[in-house]
Structure 1
Amino acid sequence: MKREIQLLAENTFDVLIVGSGIYGAFLAREAAMRGLSVALIEQGDFGCATSANSQKIVHGGLRYLQHLNLVRMRESIRARRQLLTIAPYLVRPQRFLVPTYGYGMQGKWIMRVALLLNDIVSLDRNRGVDTGQRIPAGRIISRRQCMAILPCIDQDRLTGAAQWHDGFIEDTERLMIAIIHTAVQQGAVAANYVTAEDYTMDGNRVTGVHVRDRLEGETFNVRARMVINAAGPGAATLDAGLSQQPSDTPQAWVKAFNVFLKRPLFDDMAVGLSSATRHIDRDAVINRGKRFYFFVPWKGGTLVGTEYVAASPDDDSTNLSRTELEAVIDEINKLCPCAGIARKDIGFCHVGLLPANSADPATDAASRLLKHTRVVDHEATSSTQGLFTVTGIKYTVAPQVVIDVIDRVLARLDVHVARPDVEPVLYGAEKEGVETEHTYDSRLYNRYGCHYGDVLEIANSVRGLRDLVGVDRDTIVAEVIYAVREEMAVTLPDVVYRRTGLGSTGIPVRETLKQCANIMAAELGWSKARVSKEISSVESARSLSENRLIDCEQP
């Protein structure tokens, strides 16, 4: 997978996708899989903004029973099944537990009915899924069993717990790279650090995008028969240049964040606990008056979230205030008092912006979130041809949502191409039953799938390339080299946060950053000044004592 800018400038594509978050990446894969010529551009690094914020849960739609929204529930079930099938080395089943209390809306009987309905609605949840990836039926466990697993929770009126399984993405950054690598393998041209500045027009038809290569500073036009704007919070800015901007382009946003605790709380069990503060979901038919915080085991610690706070239009999506962080720590300690969480226990916060219905301060932030993905066909709404704008809502339903979007694009292009009967797997999952000889190799397989041998080939080519980068991480030198040569990593944050595990749970120490930067310098020809600049770009994220996620850095 190479960054070939000249191909963007020289060709006219069937589809140009602006923005490579999870929706842009899956749009590129879906369009390329249908036989269209595809270009994908991203102003920062792939998946470096809102899509970097994910609690990694692939929900199967159980939560939508309270809305009686079977359409959305079925979409989630299909998306979970799809991800478990096409990316088995990255997505796995995860057991969840939610305590039950009393005989009301949090009681056993409500959850028993919910689990039964969930199993019925998802009867086809394991169709085509390998045995080891299948989702079992839900069940209710006793109070004694619950207390043995969760001794730290509130036991007043505790009656037991509901248990079910959902999907879990161990490494969302590697999933992003696998999706884009798959699209490129199918003929797409992808490039990071390319900014879309304006649409190019021929009358009332969008004919492409005028772009700037942020690495070289050059500007040029990328031509396309159809443009899909999937730029997230930046979509409205790009669409603002149109003479008639559709009124349903989101203008309000909510800041969502998940915190990583550096210690485990519930072993290998993911746990949902009802919020201490009251929450009213105005769209729910059955309202519990609470919302769940999920505690998910990950990399020896615990991911907790998702929390939502209001965001101003000029807010930095990766910035988390001290007040916001302390509020979520207080909430965690109310839900799990014996945990005694303090600031020192927070390794990292993953933060991003999600589209909202309104900026009404009287409505709590979680209630403002859009409930459905917005797809604007500008030809239908403003007579501007050749342009769709897609505003995604849920990370994990992206592979399902994009099917409908590309169907609509194909209709506008007057092209008739059906999806394949058997959906191709993602890059890295082409070979089944890959056996690894050592734990060392297994770790690489869990990141790169069946292509882990490509990393090993580099590792075995020169002495020292199997060595670890840093003493407190499990990334080897060969992985950094592979990221530069084969995965378009061009900055230190690209490698630290979005190609390897170096920065997954916190910012590495300076010595580790220096070693990683020097490896990249040897590949990319960086000067000493550039090495220092790259290290500083990562270390600048230490504001709030490592409690923010690095944004898309200027290379």
Structure 2
Amino acid sequence: MIERDPQRAASRSYDLIVVGGGIMGASVLLEAARRGLRCLLLERDDFGGATSWNSLRILHGGLRYLQTADLGRFCESARERRWFCQYFPDLVRPLPCLMPLYGKGLKRLTTFGIALATNDWLSRHRNVGIHSDLCLPNGRVLSVAETIDEFALVDRQGLQGGGLWYDVVMISPQRILMEIIRWACALGGSACNYVEVMSLLVDAAKVVGVNARDRISWRGHEFHGDAVINCTGPWCRSLVQPRDGNRDKLFQPSLAFNLLLNREPVSEAGLAIQSRCPASPVYFLLPLRNRILAGTAHRPWTEDVSYSQPSGGDLDAFIADLNSAVRDLRLTRGDILRVYSGLIPATKRGSTRLAKRPVICVHSQHGGPRGFVSVCGIKYTTARLVAERALQAIYGKRCYGTDGERPQTENRIRLEDADGMLSVDDALLAEELKRLVKQEAVVYVDDLLFRRTGWCDDPKTEQRVRGRIARHLQLDGGHRIDSDSR
């Protein structure tokens, strides 16, 4: 249970305070709790409400890293993908991925075949300890006929075959993040959303806690802890002193966005597509509940990090790229159902060249206070591993985690999409809503609809969902859930 009680949380002392409740902060909280640390997570908005909510949903095993012979990143990604399969088997599934091959560069059949064989050999332990339903087969090169059979709209001019491999897709990224926080709280951790950290508390050049404000009651609180890990992504500089020598190496924002398209999937596989234009990027088309999720497009970002939406021109350019890669799609901006956008780290501000390594900054080494670390992760897949390394930066390698199963949530209606909640009877829905609101720190209706469930993932059923919810939850003047419903 995630108990949102800032006043009670402020009455305790902690070994570690985690600032930021995206996948990076949630992972740090879990790894800290697994190590027996008294830990608290504070998030100024709702858990997973920024970039983490806008994920393309793929847990990559690292095939792309073979292109640059980055075996370290490959092995890390394959290992962490397996971790998600091991602990969240109900929230992930295998994803066949297909790339059409046209006989040029890395798209030669022999070259891609070698890459697939290398991928399978280097990840040969990927299915150890994994449920049979989640085991990933070896990849292979498909014939022209097989490729067309899998992807009927493929550009057939010059087509020589296709490369087929397997990754993992998250059924519900928001549920995974919430289950990570629930797991941490079951191990003794604490988490409060809508609590904004305003500044560090420092005594004798050492962090002793944070000064924060409850954004619901607007009361101020001091939270005392021996160490603070800053996981606030694009906002990370707000807690870092201007004289800190490593300040400029922290998160440099770049815009990334995905589009949910009002089109039926063109393949059961995730499609890696690319236009014939020189240096054009590779995009993925994923089947998502009878729609297409397309991504990821990247644009430079020099604006305020509090706003991260692509412009109309950005959307048109992405649509044009997709139409160039799959000519028979004939997409227009009117086909866009939802834009998922967020800021991810680049090598420098105003660039789309993405960071290749996470940043773990121990601020005491650069003029900052002792016990303060900032973490900038780069992938949902490897967030847990980066969290582990961030803890080691404070506590050393002696800080090992304990094994243990994730506590199961007894959901009696399906949370991943709207089908279950629209068909269940009123009595059961009311009971489950009350349980969710109470156990998962739900404050606003959108917390429930977007970040505890996937009930509004499809905009076409959103109004029906909101109508049913409104009949069962009392709203406090607007979108906030009345305390009687909690």
Distance in 1, matches of 2:406 and 2:448, equals 21
2:157 corresponds to 1:156? yes
Distance in 1, matches of 2:335 and 2:282, equals 21
* Corresponding residue number in structure 2 for 1:497: 450
- Residues 310 and 342 from structure 1, CA distance in 2 versus in 1: closer, same or farther, beyond 3 angstroms? same
CA shift, 1:399, in A, is 1.6
* Corresponding residue number in structure 1 for 2:426: 464
* Corresponding residue number in structure 1 for 2:173: 172
Distance in 1, matches of 2:368 and 2:194, equals 31
- Residues 483 and 507 from structure 1, CA distance in 2 versus in 1: closer, same or farther, beyond 3 angstroms? farther
* Corresponding residue number in structure 1 for 2:26: 25
CA shift, 1:427, in A, is 3.5
Distance in 1, matches of 2:116 and 2:33, equals 38
Taking the TM superposition and a 5 Å limit, the aligned residue runs for 1:325-474 are 325-360=315-350, 365=352, 368-411=353-396, 416-420=398-402, 423-428=403-408, 444=414, 464-466=426-428
CA shift, 1:7, in A, is 3.0
Q: Check whether the contact 2:359–2:377 (CA below 8 A) recurs between aligned residues.
A: yes
Q: What value does the CA root-mean-square deviation take over the aligned residues? A: 2.4
Q: Check whether the contact 1:250–1:357 (CA below 8 A) recurs between aligned residues.
A: no
Distance in 1, matches of 2:141 and 2:461, equals 42
SS of the aligned residue for 1:504 comes to coil
Letter of the 1:98 counterpart: M
Q: Check whether the contact 2:233–2:251 (CA below 8 A) recurs between aligned residues.
A: no
Taking the TM superposition and a 5 Å limit, the aligned residue runs for 1:89-104 are 89-104=90-105
* Corresponding residue number in structure 1 for 2:35: 34
The number of aligned residues is 476
CA shift, 1:47, in A, is 0.1
- Give unpaired runs (5+ residues) of structure 1: 280-289, 432-439, 467-475, 535-555
Q: Check whether the contact 1:8–1:222 (CA below 8 A) recurs between aligned residues.
A: yes
* Corresponding residue number in structure 2 for 1:253: 253
Q: Check whether the contact 2:455–2:462 (CA below 8 A) recurs between aligned residues.
A: no
CA shift, 1:356, in A, is 1.3
CA shift, 1:237, in A, is 1.4
Distance in 2, matches of 1:105 and 1:408, equals 39
Distance in 2, matches of 1:267 and 1:520, equals 39
For residues 19-56 of structure 1, give each alpha carbon's deviation from its aligned partner in whole angstroms, at most 9, with x where no partner exists.
01001001100000010000001000000011111010
Q: Check whether the contact 2:7–2:221 (CA below 8 A) recurs between aligned residues.
A: no
Distance in 2, matches of 1:294 and 1:189, equals 37
SS of the aligned residue for 1:223 comes to strand
Q: Check whether the contact 2:257–2:297 (CA below 8 A) recurs between aligned residues.
A: yes
Of 340-349 and 303-312, the range deviating more from structure 2? 340-349
Of 290-299 and 227-236, the range deviating more from structure 2? 290-299
Distance in 1, matches of 2:462 and 2:51, equals 25
Letter of the 1:530 counterpart: G
Taking the TM superposition and a 5 Å limit, the aligned residue runs for 1:235-274 are 235-240=236-241, 243-250=243-250, 252-274=252-274
Distance in 1, matches of 2:100 and 2:301, equals 32
CA shift, 1:425, in A, is 3.4
- Give unpaired runs (5+ residues) of structure 2: 482-486
Seq. identity, % = 30
CA shift, 1:103, in A, is 4.5
CA shift, 1:445, in A, is 7.8
* Corresponding residue number in structure 2 for 1:8: 9
Q: Check whether the contact 1:179–1:427 (CA below 8 A) recurs between aligned residues.
A: no
Distance in 2, matches of 1:347 and 1:479, equals 28
Letter of the 1:418 counterpart: Y
Letter of the 1:427 counterpart: P
SS of the aligned residue for 1:198 comes to strand
Letter of the 1:419 counterpart: G
For residues 264-314 of structure 1, give each alpha carbon's deviation from its aligned partner in whole angstroms, at most 9, with x where no partner exists.
2324211101245443xxxxxxxxxx4310011111111110000111231
- Residues 347 and 479 from structure 1, CA distance in 2 versus in 1: closer, same or farther, beyond 3 angstroms? farther
For residues 509-553 of structure 1, give each alpha carbon's deviation from its aligned partner in whole angstroms, at most 9, with x where no partner exists.
5564354245331xxxx44x325x89xxxxxxxxxxxxxxxxxxx
- Residues 132 and 258 from structure 1, CA distance in 2 versus in 1: closer, same or farther, beyond 3 angstroms? same
CA shift, 1:343, in A, is 2.3
Distance in 2, matches of 1:275 and 1:317, equals 30
Letter of the 1:398 counterpart: A
Distance in 2, matches of 1:41 and 1:163, equals 42
Q: Check whether the contact 1:103–1:109 (CA below 8 A) recurs between aligned residues.
A: no
CA shift, 1:171, in A, is 0.3
* Corresponding residue number in structure 2 for 1:311: 301
Distance in 2, matches of 1:104 and 1:416, equals 46
Of 103-112 and 71-80, the range deviating more from structure 2? 103-112
- Residues 342 and 102 from structure 1, CA distance in 2 versus in 1: closer, same or farther, beyond 3 angstroms? same
Taking the TM superposition and a 5 Å limit, the aligned residue runs for 1:124-139 are 124-139=125-140
2:474 corresponds to 1:530? no
Taking the TM superposition and a 5 Å limit, the aligned residue runs for 1:149-228 are 149-228=150-229
Distance in 1, matches of 2:73 and 2:251, equals 24
* Corresponding residue number in structure 2 for 1:45: 46
Taking the TM superposition and a 5 Å limit, the aligned residue runs for 1:81-96 are 81-96=82-97
- Residues 530 and 418 from structure 1, CA distance in 2 versus in 1: closer, same or farther, beyond 3 angstroms? same
* Corresponding residue number in structure 2 for 1:542: none
Letter of the 1:405 counterpart: A
